[in-house]
Structure 1
Amino acid sequence: MVSNQRSAKPVCKKIPFQIEIFTISFLFFSMLASVLFAQDISENTADSLKQQLLQLREQIKRLEQKQAQAELQQLKQQAWQQASSTDEKPEPKSFKSGQRSLQALNPEISVTGDAYLQGVLNEDGFSEAHRSGAYFRVIGLHIQSNLDPFSLTKIALEVTPEGIELGEAYVTWPNVLKNISLTAGKFRQQFGVLNRWHAHGLDQFEFPLALTTILGEEGLNQIGFSAEWLMPAWWAHASALTMQVTNGQNDHLFAGSLFSFPAVLAHLKNYYDVNPATYLEIGITGMVGENNLRGFQDGQRIDEKQRLTRLAGLDVTLLWEPLNKAHYHSFLWRSELYYADKQLPLNQNISALGGYSYAEFRFNEWLHAGLRLDYTQPFTIDNDGKYIYQVVPYITWWQSHWVRLRLQYNYSDGNVPLQTRHLIRLQLTWAAGPHKHERY
């Protein structure tokens, strides 16, 4: 193949060499003829011609060597080019359809389960509100997905033996304005701390007695809008203001199914770094909404005079987690106060005050123990001097990040009729999915 490539090369490059050979040969034969046929040439002239002839022969030899080297170099260059073209592999072409990956569009789905054994510690083994036995509380289906670069959604469905209930479903724009996020949909409201959490994420089996007594069994979970502003650090290391406007559909505090719009909530949270291992968080909450009925009920039009429900709350959280040992040791103290004033027909009203406080210590990565104290006035008219309190010790063992067991004892007392005084529960919760025991 190399010889074919050489023959294909133009011969014009050899013309200078041929001219030189022809010229030198011509001179050589001319001089030789002069020597042979010139009779009168002298001895000195013959020697000179002989010397010139030797020089011409030497020059011809050098030219031949130069031409041979040039041809060898040309052959090497052609061989190198041929080897290079053989070793190079063409780059594979990549074809892109321009379509989005369907797998990336799939939402993140987590499932939580909550079941428990319950014992009523009296001679009957039951009361009006509780009875001993095994129970399945809820299967929680939690869906989360980024909708686009600007917003995300969270959906929580609760499956119980009684049916399916929508827990939360909302869309959040994390940065609709600088340091401001916006949420729209159905969500648990930011009244204090615990009202925002789901039951499976609580530090105890149930919500505190004051929360369920004053805010209702399900707490505040309504439909509307929420805006959170991460404020400048004016008086704390960090502060956040949450404003929420929702339907007054909580039938314990507001108008229920004949809700009045709006019910307005404001929550101010202040964060302080006490030291590198400890932080303090203080929150203040206020809320107001109408509870008078306006609309149609059983085919009858109802238009009651305006009545208001006013709520106030205070929450304090202190958390100590030693540096480099936060997964093995910690101490948490959290307390909240709730106050409600609900206007009723005939110039009556309900005013109730309640709160809780609990402390929890982590002994190691898997074992936690704590004690909660509850106190509340009953949510009734003329409740002055009436109260209920609870003492709730508990211990929690995390088998892993996915499985948790909790043993809890409730002792209730007060000066109002009690349904259950001694109650013990063994709770099992488990989770599957990327978010596991997410509180909200």
Structure 2
Amino acid sequence: MNLFFESGNAGSIIFFFQTTTVMFCIKKISLFILLFIALAALNKKVSAQTPADSTAATDSLLLLQIEAQMQTTNDAAPFVPRVAASSNPDISVIGDFGASYINAAKRNFDAYLNEAEFSFQSVVDPYIRADFFLSLGKDEDTHKYAANIEEGYLTSTSLPWGLQLKAGKFKSAFGRINPVHAHALPFIDLPNAYENLFGEGINDDGVSLSWLLPNHAFYQELTAQAFAGYGDSPLFIRSDRNNFLYVGHLKNFFSLNDNATLEFGLSAAMGPNDSSLSTQVGGVDLTYKWKPLEHNTYKSFTWQSEIFYAKVQKTENIQVNSLGLYSLMSLQIAKRSFITARYNYAQDVNAPAAVLMAYSATYGWLATEFQKIELEGKMTEQPNHSQTYEAWLRWIFVIGTHGAHQY
């Protein structure tokens, strides 16, 4: 270039630019010819290729195009954050349609949409995840539908020393039934002993800290929780003072062999009651599960039992103690069919001499993982020795992505 400009020869300059332009065009034409030959060679093999070969050929062609583009430009590709693809939470809706028969009621038969549960679940960042469950159900008194937050909480995912923190509104860790949503239970109605003590369950605003104990012999988890006291339990109320509802649970999980597991749990709850005093409840749960490695989609068996013991202080000098328990066995008789039998024993928390016993059987048919139909019949012996008969039909269906429940 310097020689051309020093000579001042304008014709030479023009000749140089013309030559450069021609060479650039020749390179471009050569590149397109090479791509055309590659396409033609690939097209001759399309008829003999398998789907995997077609994918490989497409990838090879794409690689050639990328290499050609990289030779003609040095511009960097735009950066797309990975979180953009997963910023939306998992959303699901669970419908719970039911029908019932009660022989002692004035209106024996009824049908209703028991609940519609909307769940929103997602990892927030590397440190916490969020789970929200919105329930739309019918009020038993007004028969009008109303929405409420069934659960809404944050859970830590990266605390050291086997610790996990939870904060928000959530179900307590007391026993086996309380942490589970109703639609995931193998029966339709709650055990009488559980319902007498906790109503629909301990579900309240609070904080929870769990610790996975460094036990190499078996799985062991200790949970401590504190709640404000807004729950539906008939034994506990929200105190105007700094008296909260405290719950503790120790879970011990054993793997007996490749086919069976055993879980043993201890629970305790203590909080203020409507007498401005305190109520204490203790619980013991035992669960045995069997599911063979061979034919495990067709056979399984579960035996689950819980015992509750409550101490309710009525006055400074009067304390009422009551006992309750249930025991159930659930047998998988086919790939989609389950039978559950349950025994209930419950003392009245206000009059322990009044004892209620009940027997129930439930047949469940799981059409798919998104739909199940259950039919339950129950006979109850009242404290006055009269008997009541009840039956329920429940149809559960799920749309969207819903996380797994507790094992």
How does the TM-score come out when normalised to structure 2?
0.77
CA distance in 2, matches of 1:416, 1:135: 31
Aligned twin of 2:175: 192
1:347-426, aligned counterparts within 5 Å?
Answer: 347-380=317-350, 382-384=351-353, 386-416=354-384, 421-426=388-393
Q: Deviations over 1:177-214 (max 9, x none)?
A: 23111100111001011111111111101221111111
- Identify the residue that residue 239 of structure 1 maps to in structure 2: 220
User: What residue number does 1:281 align with?
Assistant: 263
CA–CA distance in structure 1, aligned partners of residues 311 and 396 of structure 2: 36
Return the offset for 1:325: 2.5
Contact map agreement 1:118 1:134 (CA 8 A) in 2: yes
Tell me, yes or no, if the aligned pair for 2:247 and 2:270 is still in contact at 8 Å.
yes
Amino acid paired to 2:298: Y
C-alpha deviation, 1:101, in angstroms: 5.1
Indicate whether 1:176 and 2:159 are aligned.
yes
SS in 1 for 2:368: coil
Q: CA deviation at 1:242?
A: 0.8
Q: For residues 82-117 of structure 1, give each alpha carbon's deviation from its aligned partner in whole angstroms, at most 9, with x where no partner exists.
A: 799745723275532555654521111111011112
Task: Measure the CA separation in 2 of the matches of 1:337 and 1:404.
Answer: 29
Answer yes or no: is 1:127 the counterpart of 2:94: no
Residues 110-168 of structure 1 deviation map (CA, whole Å, 9 limit, x = unaligned): 11011112122x4xxx517x731212110011110111111001111110133112111
Tell me how far apart the structure 2 counterparts of residues 82 and 132 of structure 1 sit (CA, whole Å). Answer: 85
Question: Partner letter of residue 276 of structure 1?
Answer: D
Conserved in 1, the CA contact under 8 Å of 2:126 and 2:158?
no
Please list every run of 5 or more consecutive structure 2 residues that lacks an aligned counterpart in the other structure.
1-22, 35-66, 139-144
1:202–1:439 Cα contact (<8 Å) kept = no
Q: 1: CA distance between counterparts of 2:348 and 2:381?
A: 13
Q: 1:238 to 1:227 in 2, by over 3 A?
A: same
Which letter does structure 1 place at the counterpart of 2:400?
G
CA deviations over 1:385-410 (Å, ceiling 9, x no partner): x2101111111011111111111101
CA distance in 2, matches of 1:172, 1:253: 28
8 A Cα contact 2:280 2:311, kept in partner = yes
C-alpha separation in 1, matches of 2:95 and 2:222: 33
Q: Which has the larger radius of gyration?
A: 1
1:259, CA displacement in angstroms? 7.0
- Tell me, yes or no, if the aligned pair for 2:280 and 2:310 is still in contact at 8 Å: yes
Q: Distance in 1 between matches of 2:154 and 2:207?
A: 10
Matches within 5 A, 1:92-111: 93=75, 95-97=77-79, 102-111=84-93
Please report how far the alpha carbon of residue 374 of structure 1 lies from its aligned counterpart in structure 2 after TM superposition.
0.7
Opposite residue 117 of structure 2, the aligned amino acid is G
User: CA shift at 1:379, angstroms?
Assistant: 1.8
SS at match of 1:178: coil
Q: Is the CA contact (8 Å cut-off) linking 2:228 and 2:238 kept in structure 1?
A: no
SS of alignment partner, residue 411 of structure 1: strand
Residues 89 and 411 (structure 1 numbering): CA distance in 2 closer, same or farther, change over 3 Å?
Answer: same
2:290 aligns to what? 320
Mark the CA change 1:94 to 1:391 in structure 2 (over 3 Å): closer, same or farther. Answer: farther
Match of 1:341 among 307, 311, 317: 311
- Aligned mates of 1:232, 1:138 — CA distance in 2: 40
1:90 corresponds to which of 43, 47, 69: 69
2:162 corresponds to 1:165? no
In 1, the alpha carbon distance for the partners of 2:205 and 2:157 equals: 19
Q: 1:365 to 1:94 in 2, by over 3 A?
A: farther
Q: Give the letter for the 2:123 counterpart.
A: N
| Cα shift at 1:376 | 0.5
Query: Aligned partner of 1:271: which letter?
Result: F
The separation in 2 between residues aligned to 1:335 and 1:221, in whole angstroms, is: 21
TM-score by length of 1: 0.71
Residue 268 of structure 1 aligns with an amino acid whose one-letter code is L
1:309 equivalent among 279, 284, 291 = 279
- Which of residues 256, 263, 270 in structure 1 aligns to 2:238? 256
Unaligned 5+ runs, structure 1 = 1-77, 294-303
Q: For residues 275 and 433 of structure 1, do their structure 2 counterparts lie closer, same or farther at Cα, with a shift above 3 Å needed?
A: same
Q: Secondary structure at the match of 1:256?
A: coil
Alpha carbons 2:220, 2:252 under 8 Å: kept: yes
Q: C-alpha distance in 1, partners of 2:345/2:161? A: 41
Deviation at 1:426, TM superposition (A): 1.6
**1:64 aligned residue:** none
Q: What amino acid sits opposite 1:142 in the alignment?
A: S
Aligned AA for 2:375? L
Structure 1 residues 100 and 322, CA gap change in structure 2 (3 angstroms): closer
> 8 Å contact 2:382–2:388 — kept in the other structure?
no
Distance verdict in 2 for CA 1:311–1:368, change over 3 Å: same
Secondary structure in 1 matching 2:256: strand
